[in-house]
Chain A
Amino acid sequence: MSIESRKIKHMVRNILTARPDEIGCVECLERMDRFVEMELEGKSPAEAMPLVHDHLTRCADCREEYEALLEALQHLHEA
Chain B
Amino acid sequence: MQERTNQQWLAALSEPGTEQELALADLRVFLVRGLSYAMADRPQVGEADIEGFVQDALLKILDSLASFRGESRFTTWAQKIAVHEAFTELRRKRWENVSLDKMIARYEGDFAPSILTDPDPSPEQRVTQRGLLETVERLIVEELTERQRQAIVAVVFAGMPTAEVARRMGTNRNALYKLMHDARQRLKRRMQAEGISLEDALSAFETSSGKRSSTHHV
Contacts and interface: CB of A to CB of B under 8 A. Distances in A.
| B is bound to A | yes
Interface of A: 1-18, 20, 22, 24-27, 29-34, 36-37, 59-61, 64-65, 68-69, 71-76, 79
Interface string B155-172: 011010111000000000
Contacts of B83: 65, 68-69, 72
23 contacts: A2-B216, A3-B114, A5-B120, A11-B152, A13-B201, A16-B197, A16-B198, A18-B185, A20-B185, A25-B162, A25-B177, A29-B84, A33-B73, A36-B72, A36-B80, A37-B73, A61-B161, A68-B83, A68-B86, A71-B38, A72-B35, A73-B34, A75-B33
Contact of B34 (A24, A31, A32, A72): A72
B191 A1 contact: no
Given A8-B205, A16-B198, A18-B188, A3 B30 contact: no
Given A34-B72, A65-B84, A16 B107 contact: no
B173 A6 contact: no
Contacts of B205: 5-6, 8-9, 12
A24 B178 contact: yes
A59 B162 contact: yes
Contacts of A6: 205, 209, 213
Interface string B74-106: 001101100110110001000000000000001
B129 A5 contact: yes
Contacts of A13: 198, 201-202
B40 to A, nearest CB: 8
B118 A16 contact: no
Interface residues of B, number: 64
A20 B203 CA distance: 25
Given A4-B215, A5-B209, A76-B33, A15 B177 contact: no
Contact of A1 (B38, B106, B133): B106
Contacts of A59: 162, 177
A37 B72 contact: yes
B62 interface: no
B91 A8 contact: no
